[in-house]
Amino acid sequence: MAPAKLLEAVKEYSPKTDLETVELAYDFAAKAHEGQKRASGEPYINHSVETAITLAKLRLPENMIVAGLMHDVPEDTPVTLEDIEKEFGEDVASMVAGITKLGKIKYRGMERYVENLRKMFVAMASDIRVILIKFADRLHNLSTLDALPSRKRVRIALESLEIYAPIANRLGMGMMQGKLEDLSFKYVYPKEYAWVSGLVKDRYRAKERYLKKVGEKIEAELVKNRIKTLDIHGRMKHLYSLYKKLLKYDRNLDKIYDLAALRVIVPSVADCYATLGIIHQMWKPLKGRIKDYIAQPKPNGYQSLHTTIFCDDGEIVEVQIRTEQMHEEAEYGIAAHWHYVEEGKESPEAVNQQIAWVKDLIKLQQESLKDKGHLIESFEKLKIDVFQKRIFVFTPSGDVIDLPEDATPVDFAYAIHSDIGDRCTAARINNEIAPLDARLYSGDMCEIVVDKNRKGPNADWLKFVKTHHAKDRIRLYAKKKRLS
């Protein structure tokens, strides 16, 4: 018997899914995983069930829920893909095959970042549903990280933060991105996490109470104007996105205006604009903070009207006004489109358009094999969030090394190999001699001159290196030297 919470989630969120098929899939997966335990000691099948529940809650269709239950079967049990195909059909089996392939990609630090992304994009373009199942799988893995050894914990969390979350963002899946980031944040930057969560704990509670009152006032005013309020709720900023914003604003919480926001969901676009007008009559808007993302959506498709108002008692409140469809798209992104196609509200064309950018990327990848400079130019044109603040520098043999913005030849040398970093003495950038603290740009070709007799790095390099890896190595050497 499948657990009741799985059946209930399917009934509520994916009503077209056949419960009997879910039962069969559950029995099949439970039997395959029989006797296996998670690191936490609980039965392995619990993980498969949690993955399937997340997929159901994204309101995804039957085959994806079945594939979710099945997703670790070929990798970890004697049951094969052929067995799955025989029982549940080719579509389910092909998704499970995709997940199994993705599972083989291991995150090995920044130097493998682009390669990882490339593989992920290839997997996505062939079937983007695979990525959605992978997200659901990862969400449960992140929530059970405490059972793992600390090295593994950090690797999984870092990979989620740097690869999965940006892709969720690019697919418009705001809620998924927020969850992936907040669950990882704690493990990747434990001190910063403690700082941010401590900072807002009390404030979030107070804000929630305050927003409730403001919401009631707005709703009353909308009733007078015959606008139906479908939903009105407060949302607190996710901790990781707050953290990133704090870094931009001198770590000053008072400069963050969207710490808490009030969301007003109304039936139509016309109602959105009318609501904005009504709110501006009630309270004065802050200059330069009115944003019309309905007329001009964000690159990932996000739509809403935003305004920031001086509210009662001088409190500053951000209000986000949107239709129900805009809200669903902001939270669920591409998963919402899947749902609309299932319901017959949207043609499959729209979903295909959503993933067109992935396909563009594959094309670019293939072209790039011929012309690497072209690749970088095209990435910049596509404005992929994932690649923001990273630069791509070539070795003389044509390998791409990705580095943070403002990185130097020393960072580059360490990214190739620790020994090359330790012994570098000079650099040539685009065939010209350059100092070791020169600034590298995307598309540069960099060559490192190594002195075999050099004993180790210069502690002065700490003043300009940008990567953690370079800093760690240089510090390590300086410490050793002091001790000897």
Catalytically annotated residues? 75-76
**CB of residue 337 vs Mn ion: minimum separation in angstroms?**
25
48 versus 323: smaller Cβ distance to Mn ion: 48
How distant, in Å, are the alpha carbons of 227, 266, 299, 323 from that of 272? Answer: 9, 6, 21, 7
**CB of residue 23 vs Mn ion: minimum separation in angstroms?**
21
Q: Does 159 bind Mn ion (CB under 5 A)?
A: no
156 versus 266: smaller Cβ distance to Mn ion: 156
156 versus 446: smaller Cβ distance to Mn ion: 156
Contacts of 454 (CB under 8 A, 6+ apart): 422, 423, 425
In the numeric block, the tokens 């979903």 are attached to 351
72 versus 328: smaller Cβ distance to Mn ion: 72
**CB of residue 389 vs Mn ion: minimum separation in angstroms?**
30
Contacts of 160 (CB under 8 A, 6+ apart): 138, 142, 180, 181, 183, 184
Residue span binding Mn ion (CB under 5 A) among the ranges 136-144, 160-168, 323-331, 449-457: 136-144
Q: Count of residues binding Mn ion (CB under 5 A)? A: 2
Scanning residues 407 to 466, which ones bind Mn ion (CB under 5 A)? none
Residue span binding Mn ion (CB under 5 A) among the ranges 71-79, 149-157, 190-198, 286-294: 71-79
CA distance 398 to 446: 10
**CB of residue 142 vs Mn ion: minimum separation in angstroms?**
11
Residue span binding Mn ion (CB under 5 A) among the ranges 134-142, 385-393, 405-413, 447-455: 134-142
**CB of residue 65 vs Mn ion: minimum separation in angstroms?**
15
137 versus 422: smaller Cβ distance to Mn ion: 137
137 versus 411: smaller Cβ distance to Mn ion: 137
Residue span binding Mn ion (CB under 5 A) among the ranges 137-145, 160-168, 431-439, 446-454: 137-145
Q: Does 137 bind Mn ion (CB under 5 A)?
A: yes
47 versus 423: smaller Cβ distance to Mn ion: 47
102 versus 336: smaller Cβ distance to Mn ion: 102
Residue span binding Mn ion (CB under 5 A) among the ranges 2-10, 72-80, 267-275, 278-286: 72-80
**CB of residue 32 vs Mn ion: minimum separation in angstroms?**
13
Residue span binding Mn ion (CB under 5 A) among the ranges 90-98, 130-138, 182-190, 292-300: 130-138
CA distance 113 to 339: 32
CB nearest Mn ion: which residue?
Answer: 137
Question: What does the longest C-alpha to C-alpha distance in the chain come to?
Answer: 82
Per-residue contact string for residues 90-129; x = within reach of Mn ion by CB under 5 A: ----------------------------------------
70 versus 171: smaller Cβ distance to Mn ion: 70
Residue span binding Mn ion (CB under 5 A) among the ranges 2-10, 30-38, 133-141, 415-423: 133-141
3-state secondary structure the chain: CCCHHHHHHHHHHCCCCCHHHHHHHHHHHHHHCCCCECCCCCECHHHHHHHHHHHHHCCCCHHHHHHHHHCCHHHHCCCCHHHHHHHHHHHHHHHHHHHHHHHCCCCCCHHHHHHHHHHHHHHHHHCHHHHHHHHHHHHHHHHCHHHCCHHHHHHHHHHHHHHHHHHHHHCCCHHHHHHHHHHHHHHHCHHHHHHHHHHHHHHHHHHHHHHHHHHHHHHHHHHHCCCCCCEEEEEECCHHHHHHHHHHCCCCHHHCCCCEEEEEEECCHHHHHHHHHHHHHHCEECCCCCEECCCCCCCCCCCCEEEEEECHHHCEEEEEEEEHHHHHHHHHCHHHHHHHHHCCCCCHHHHHHHCHHHHHHHHHHHHHCCCHHHHHHHHHHHCCHHHCCEEEEECCCCCEEEEECCCCHHHHHHHHCHHHHHCEEEEEECCEEECCCCCCCCCCEEEEEECCCCCCCCHHHHHCCCCHHHHHHHHHHHHHHHHC
Nearest alpha-carbon partner for 145 in 135, 133, 158: 158
Q: Does 72 bind Mn ion (CB under 5 A)?
A: yes
**CB of residue 139 vs Mn ion: minimum separation in angstroms?**
10
Binding site for Mn ion (CB under 5 A): 72, 137
